[in-house]
Amino acid sequence: MTAARSSTELAPNVILVASDSASDAAQVSRQLQEEFGKVVTSIDADLAASDFERHQPGVLVLAFNTLEKAERYYLGLYRLCPAVQQVLHRTVILCNKDEVKQVYELCKKHHFDDYVLYWPMTYDMARLGMTVHHALRELNTLHSMDPTAAEFAAPARRLEDLQTMMTEGLPQGMDFAKACAPHLASVRALTALAERYKPTLLVVDDDEFQRKILARILGSENYQLLFATSGLEALNQLRKTRPDLILMDVKMPGMDGVEVTRRLKETPRFASIPVVMITGQSDRSVVTDSLKAGAIGFVVKPFDRDKLLAKVAQGLGGA
């Protein structure tokens, strides 16, 4: 098996065109080869996972003539190919005019990254190339992404604690604080800057009512909130942003919270994100499976505001 590319490497220029039609794949590939370095195709459904694993593309172009085929292909990749979560990539779906509104809504929900109106004929030949350019630029930005707010704030707070320890532990008569005043001022400025950042929480729950409750409770605190309505949507969002903590519902249709958590923890660039499970069950097997998958704790429905906030603060403190 090919080793997954490190998330710290520069964004690749490999473009993988996936289709169930050899002629369509060849047409799209020829168009992209005029401008981009390496364009490969994948047309055998049985080899979809191995093709992605081997090429580890930066951009995946879904050149299927119906939305249903594109969704089935990409969902299959998520189920069969761990590299899909490990390799930073962008998805571009080629759609027809009858399905463009549906595709637009799916892109808004982060199921795909972008789309091009392509079938039955290309109305704007240059649009596909420009969309790929945008995708590669975004990848380069993600590869050089700064640390999260929690990762930035934690060292600053530790430096502040160090300042206190040094000051309180000075030998009598030694004005160490005065000698280090410029450095300590920098520490205080860094700490103040860190306090301005809002930790980002990703809430994953298919129940709209529960999402509204969590939004009301957490929205009153110093948090930036993101929401996903399914495990697949959460995994797609994580290809674009890195939250400081994830609140993950256990019971969801399709891919449940335990499976999503397991996949996150198997992916090096997501493994350090703390996951707190949301559950309405006290079943010991649910607790055991969640902890084995890598969750750090639980919050139980119906939510107790103080307990929920305490659990979130505890998770962020250990990030």
Task: Give the separation between CA 75 and CA 229, rounded to whole angstroms.
Answer: 16
Reply yes or no on whether the pLDDT at 9 is more than 50: no
- Ranking 26-30, 145-149, 290-294 by mean pLDDT, the lowest is 145-149
What percent of the chain clears pLDDT 70, i.e. is strictly above it? 76
3-state secondary structure of 95: strand
Nearest CA-CA partner of 245 in 208, 203, 303: 203
Q: Is the Cβ–Cβ distance between 45 and 73 less than 8 Å?
A: yes
Count of beta carbons in the 10 Å neighbourhood of residue 142 = 16
pLDDT for 203-262, tens place per residue?
999 999 999 999 999 988 889 899 999 998 998 888 888 899 999 999 998 889 999 999
Q: Are strands 200-204 and 38-42 parallel, antiparallel or unpaired?
A: unpaired
3-state secondary structure of 281: coil
Structure tokens at 194: 């860190």
Reply yes or no on whether the pLDDT at 11 is more than 60: no
Mean pLDDT of all residues in the chain?
83
Q: What are the extents of the domains in the chain?
A: 14-143, 155-194, 200-317
Structure tokens at 211: 């999402």
pLDDT tier, 277 (very low <50, low <70, confident <90, very high otherwise):
very high
Query: What is the C-alpha radius of gyration for the chain, rounded to an integer number of angstroms?
Result: 23
Q: Is the pTM of this model over 0.85?
A: no
The answer to whether domain 14-143 and domain 200-317 are alike in fold is yes
Q: Is the Cβ–Cβ distance between 248 and 276 less than 8 Å?
A: yes
Amino acid occupying residue 112: F
Q: Is the Cβ–Cβ distance between 220 and 175 less than 8 Å?
A: no
Q: Are strands 224-228 and 245-249 parallel, antiparallel or unpaired?
A: unpaired
Terminal CA-to-CA distance of the chain, rounded, Å? 31
3-state secondary structure of 255: coil
Q: Are strands 114-119 and 90-96 parallel, antiparallel or unpaired?
A: parallel
Nearest CA-CA partner of 224 in 204, 203, 255: 203
pLDDT for 185-216, tens place per residue?
556 666 665 666 678 999 999 999 999 999 99
Domain 200-317 = CATH 3.30.1490.20: no
Scan for tokens 């080629």, then name that residue: 94
Instruction: Give how far Cα 41 sits from Cα of 30, 52, 63, 305, 311, Å.
Output: 11, 10, 10, 51, 47
Task: Give the separation between CA 147 and CA 200, rounded to whole angstroms.
Answer: 12
Instruction: Give how far Cα 307 sits from Cα of 235, 291, 311, Å.
Output: 27, 19, 6
pLDDT for 56-85, tens place per residue?
999 999 999 999 999 999 988 888 888 887
* pLDDT for the residue numbered 194: 60
pLDDT tier, 10 (very low <50, low <70, confident <90, very high otherwise):
very low
CATH number given to 14-143: 3.40.50.2300
pLDDT tier, 6 (very low <50, low <70, confident <90, very high otherwise):
very low
Count of beta carbons in the 10 Å neighbourhood of residue 284 = 8
Count of beta carbons in the 10 Å neighbourhood of residue 111 = 20
